[in-house]
Structure 1
Amino acid sequence: MSGDILQVVNDATPFIAAAAASYGSAVLAQAQDEAASATISAGRRILLRVFGHREADDPIAGLLDEVAADPSDPDTVGALRRELRNALTEDSQLVADLRAMLAGAAPSVTVGTNEGIISTGSAATNTINNTR
């Protein structure tokens, strides 16, 4: 497996896990909810692009329901990652498509007035030195 596929899987997992945790297998059939968070919406779009619409008795739908039942279970999330990796390994265009989708799903912040620190990204850190 190429490092590129593994990176896409790592980048996509939080989005697809959030969507699965919120909707279970319905994420592949449900109309878009305008109130869904950006993360869940991005996860839903990724899941639909990778797996398409599925019937309730499909194994992928069952796996999404398992993630919804316990999104903190590393085994079920790992199984979802495995299915994503397998799909990406079989389709190089899908890798490119997901990279583009993930680039557009990056967190952003809109601020009217701020008197503090705003950090985004999983590696963001802040150090405050109070010298008063």
Structure 2
Amino acid sequence: MSAEIAQLVEQAGPAVTAAVGAYGAAVLTRAQDAAAEATVGLGQRILQLVWRRRDEAGRTELEQVVGEAADEQDDTYSTAVLGRLLRHALQDDPGLREEMSALLPAPAAGTVTITAAGERSIAAQHIGTAITGDGHTPPRS
């Protein structure tokens, strides 16, 4: 897998997972609501872009994968399944890579922005165990 495809999947994955979580399998055909949150809207646009570029068999496969991810209660699993789908679609279609690159913001080289808001919030790029609140003791390994 090329670095370009890996980067596109990494950028698109959270948005696609959020869209499937919000709309389920209907994300492929649903018209975007004006009130839709930005990440969900981006994920929906990405999935609809993939949908439009597939043949009938590809659309059926996409519906099955999105339906499976929508029914799944484990976001980690859904992210992996949808990421695999995006990787395959991007590997098979250079034009899709170009269109998806245009939808996604350009990655900032070496820049990481992490924000935490609210009382006892935690923000970290990499973290092991984090506990907020009163009266907790660290877990034992």
After TM superposition, the score normalised by the length of structure 1 is 0.70
Equivalent in the alignment of 1:30: 30
Segments ≥4 residues shifted beyond 6 Å: none
Tell whether the 8 Å contact from 1:64 to 1:80 is kept in structure 2 after alignment. yes
* Cα distance in 2 between the residues matched to 1:64 and 1:29: 12
Tell whether the 8 Å contact from 2:19 to 2:39 is kept in structure 1 after alignment. yes
- Tell me whether 1-10 or 92-101 shows the greater mean CA deviation: 92-101
Task: Name structure 2 gaps, 5 residues minimum.
Answer: 117-141
Task: Name structure 1 gaps, 5 residues minimum.
Answer: 107-120, 127-132
Tell whether the 8 Å contact from 1:20 to 1:64 is kept in structure 2 after alignment. yes
Equivalent in the alignment of 1:70: 72
Counterpart secondary structure, 1:32? coil
* Cα distance in 2 between the residues matched to 1:36 and 1:69: 21
Equivalent in the alignment of 1:96: 98
Q: Give how far 1:76 is off.
A: 3.0
Alignment of 1:1-132 (within 5 A): 1-52=1-52, 58-70=60-72, 72-103=74-105, 123-124=113-114
State the identity %: 37
* Cα distance in 2 between the residues matched to 1:122 and 1:22: 27
CA root-mean-square deviation: 2.8
